[in-house]
């Protein structure tokens, strides 16, 4: 089973939403984690806008990237420029991918970013390099 880590600065919104969508689109064939370089708790607006689209992230926790230092990942996805710049080196052959999304600051911007992240996550699983096979 593939392991995916999504990184953002605060692990409060963008990475949380990406984790929710990646888990949804993986259909149980990948394990998805999210973390931040400076975690600050899951943003309630992220929980709200994801629930509007039928994805429950209310049980998610905000984690530090160091919490996963011992795990080997197949993919490390950074979803903001700051996380990309501060992304630690993982002792694995993880493929690192980057797509920066704006930091949402209002309900309307949370919805816009959610929709952008949803499209990115869906296309991630449709891309040729990603194969949801054991490994």
For 132, residues 6+ apart whose C-beta sits below 8 A from its C-beta are 2, 26, 27, 29, 30, 125
State yes or no: is 121 an active-site residue.
no
Catalytic annotation, pick one of 4, 6, 8, 121: 8
Which of 31, 38, 87, 132 is catalytic? The answer is 87
For residue 66 the two structure tokens come to: 């160091």
Q: Catalytic pick from 18, 46, 47, 80? A: 80
Nearest to 78 by CA among 38, 34, 44: 34
Active site residues: 8, 80, 87
């Amino acid at each position: 089973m593939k392991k995916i880590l999504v990184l953002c600065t605060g692990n409060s919104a963008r990475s949380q939403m990406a984790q929710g969508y990646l888990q949804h689109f993986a259909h149980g064939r990948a394990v998805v984690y999210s973390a931040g370089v400076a975690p600050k708790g899951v943003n309630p607006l992220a929980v709200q806008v994801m629930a509007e689209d039928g994805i429950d992230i209310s049980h998610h926790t905000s984690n530090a990237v160091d919490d996963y230092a011992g795990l080997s990942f197949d993919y490390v996805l950074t979803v903001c420029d700051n996380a990309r710049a501060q992304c630690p080196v993982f002792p694995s052959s993880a493929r690192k991918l980057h797509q920066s999304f704006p930091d949402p600051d209002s309900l309307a911007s949370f919805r816009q970013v959610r929709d952008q992240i949803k499209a990115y996550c869906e296309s991630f699983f449709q891309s040729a390099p990603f194969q949801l096979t054991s490994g």
